[in-house]
Amino acid sequence: MERKFKAAIAYYPDCSATNGDMAAPTLILIGATQRSGKGSSVQLDVYPGARHGFDSAGLKTGIETYGHRMQYNAAEQSILASHAFLKDVFGG
């Protein structure tokens, strides 16, 4: 690609892709993961008690689906973390 990402933020990304090198500073907002440690830095914020869809305001009361609890319960923390991460990467 001619233009590259300068930073990345991933909200609960696909857990099956836990290896590989990061090409840009990355903030992952998820329960838990593992990686090789190669490539750009990765900040991992784990929100105890957070559920799938923790940033989806339509899930304030929460639902059970496909054996998972989905509930809006960590959006504010994740938004603050995203802003702090971008400020750190880009300055300002």
The closest alpha carbon to 28, from 87, 18, 58, 62, belongs to: 18
The strand pairing partners of 8, in sequence order, are 26
- CB-count exposure of residue 39 (10 Å: 0-12, 13-18, 19+): middle
Q: Where are the domains of the chain?
A: 24-32+40-90
pLDDT at 87: 94
Q: Is 39 in contact with 25 (CB distance < 8 Å)? A: no
- Per-residue pLDDT of 16-53, as tens digits, reads 555 667 788 888 887 656 667 788 877 878 888 788 88
Q: Is 90 exceeded by the pLDDT of residue 59?
A: no
The three-state secondary structure class of 4 is: coil
- Per-residue pLDDT of 64-83, as tens digits, reads 888 878 888 888 888 899 99
CA 48 – CA 54 distance, rounded (Å): 11
Q: Is 90 exceeded by the pLDDT of residue 12?
A: no
Indicate the pTM of the whole model: 0.57
